[in-house]
Amino acid sequence: MANLLRAVSDMLRPSALDAFADGVRIEYKSDDGRVLRVEDKAATEKQFLSSVGRAVLVTLQIATLGSFLAAFCALPLAFLAARNAGLPRWIGAPTRALLTVLRSIHTLVFGLILVGIVGLGPTAGILAIALHSLGSYGKLFAETIEAAPRGLLESGASLGLSRWQTLWLGLRRGFYPQWVATHLYLWEFNVRDSTVLGLIGAGGLGLLVTEAVSLFQWDRLATLLIVIVLLVAMFDRSSALLRAHLTAGR
């Protein structure tokens, strides 16, 4: 109980506040009372905030690159999976099954596997985000294609266009806003997932969270949690506004 109360007490005063507490010194003493080291608390916390800023950039890099890689790879798979693409069943069914498998495996599971394959660092996080998101992007993109008006396919046929050419024309004219909105929606979730991938060694804010917990630095953990909440809230709001704009402009 004492440890719990201490942790809660420390978290109620985030370490970021100490970055503005000039003149505060912390002395580290030996058992016999000798001063081993004197630490400037404000300078130390400013260095920590700098590392948090770098971790935020890594987190956004993981989410953004993973999302764009998944969205790019999902385009051809979506055409293969769409039931109205006119492809044989032996192509469409396995493609849909692949997308289901990728969507069913959690990002953290992919992360654990990829950390063992490619090693620690953002690369494992980017690939983990991409693999899991590929299933979601592919499914939603395919559903968008399947929702194409029947008249679109008929008008394309009357112009002598193939089914694929008609679908591509529909993508450029009618599907594009919906696909961008889908990408923004999934990007929100990937930003959330990327904040915890560091817990398994994939870099970013999660790595700092792991360090803070292992060293019982609850005040720094509070700072990190505040940053994560603000980051996710900012992206949620920005994505919602962009999606609303795209939907209104359709």
For the chain, list residues with pLDDT below 50: 28, 35-36, 38
Asked if the structure places residue 210 within a domain, the reply is yes
Token duo for residue 156: 């394309």
Asked if the structure places residue 26 within a domain, the reply is no
Asked if the structure places residue 10 within a domain, the reply is no
CATH code of residue 128 = 1.10.3720.10
Token duo for residue 137: 């992007």
> Which tens digits make up the pLDDT trace of 100-129?
999 999 999 999 999 989 888 899 999 999
Asked if the structure places residue 103 within a domain, the reply is yes
- Domain hosting 78: range is 53-248
Is 170 in contact with 152 (CB distance < 8 Å)?
yes
CB atoms within 10 A of CB 53: 11
Asked if the structure places residue 29 within a domain, the reply is no
Give the integer Cα–Cα distance in Å for 11 and 21: 17
Element (H, E) at 249: none
DSSP E strands: which ranges in 49-123?
A: none
Give the integer Cα–Cα distance in Å for 53 and 89: 49
Q: How many domains does the chain have?
A: 1
Asked if the structure places residue 205 within a domain, the reply is yes
Asked if the structure places residue 153 within a domain, the reply is yes
Cα 22–chain centre separation: 36
Residue 101 is predicted with a pLDDT of 94
The answer, as to whether pTM is greater than 0.85, is no
Asked if the structure places residue 186 within a domain, the reply is yes
> Which tens digits make up the pLDDT trace of 40-58?
566 777 788 888 999 999 9
Residue 46 CB burial class (10 angstroms; 0-12, 13-18, ≥19): middle
Residue 226 is predicted with a pLDDT of 92
**Partner residues linked to 25 by β-bridges:** 40
Element (H, E) at 14: none
